């Protein structure tokens, strides 16, 4: 595959990583909410950051759909689950279980089944 054909896929992967970081901000906001309350500048800042990331992702998603078929782009969206698991373990020290991996595999299998030619 030519590098020009790989570029949209690379851009999509970067977008998915950034989108998954919005979920990290939401989790941090939820933890802060329980400590300082919803209307604190800290919680509102985390949530505003998450919304900003999601808005940028929405624009990027529309742009990437101009270069990739929907089936390819949507199949790759399943990687958000993987990134979420990675961030859970690395940033929050959460234990990953067999069922986490099994659930991720089921999601990928379902996406592959639905998107097969």
41-45, 47-51, 93-97, 106-110: range with lowest mean pLDDT: 106-110
**Burial class of 19 by CB neighbour count within 10 A (0 to 12, 13 to 18, 19+):** buried
What integer pLDDT is reported at residue 112 of this predicted model? 82
> Mean pLDDT of all residues in the chain?
90
- Domain holding 21, by residue range, is 3-115
Prediction pTM value: 0.80
pLDDT band at 102 (very low <50, low <70, confident <90, very high): very high
CB 65 within 8 A of CB 15: no
What integer pLDDT is reported at residue 108 of this predicted model? 85
What integer pLDDT is reported at residue 60 of this predicted model? 94
What integer pLDDT is reported at residue 110 of this predicted model? 87
In this prediction, residues 43-58 reach a mean pLDDT of: 96
What's the domain count of the chain? 1
pLDDT band at 1 (very low <50, low <70, confident <90, very high): low
């Amino acid at each position: 595959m030519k590098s020009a054909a790989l570029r949209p896929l690379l851009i999509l992967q970067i977008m998915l990583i950034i989108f998954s970081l919005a979920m990290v901000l939401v989790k941090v906001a939820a933890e802060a909410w329980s400590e300082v309350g919803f209307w604190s500048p800290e919680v509102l800042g985390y949530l505003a950051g998450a919304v900003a990331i999601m808005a940028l992702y929405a624009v990027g998603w529309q742009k990437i759909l101009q270069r990739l078929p929907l089936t390819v782009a949507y199949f790759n969206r399943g990687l958000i689950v993987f990134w979420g698991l990675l961030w859970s373990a690395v940033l929050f020290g959460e234990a990953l279980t067999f069922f986490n991996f099994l659930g991720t595999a089921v999601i990928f299998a379902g996406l592959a089944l639905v998107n097969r030619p």
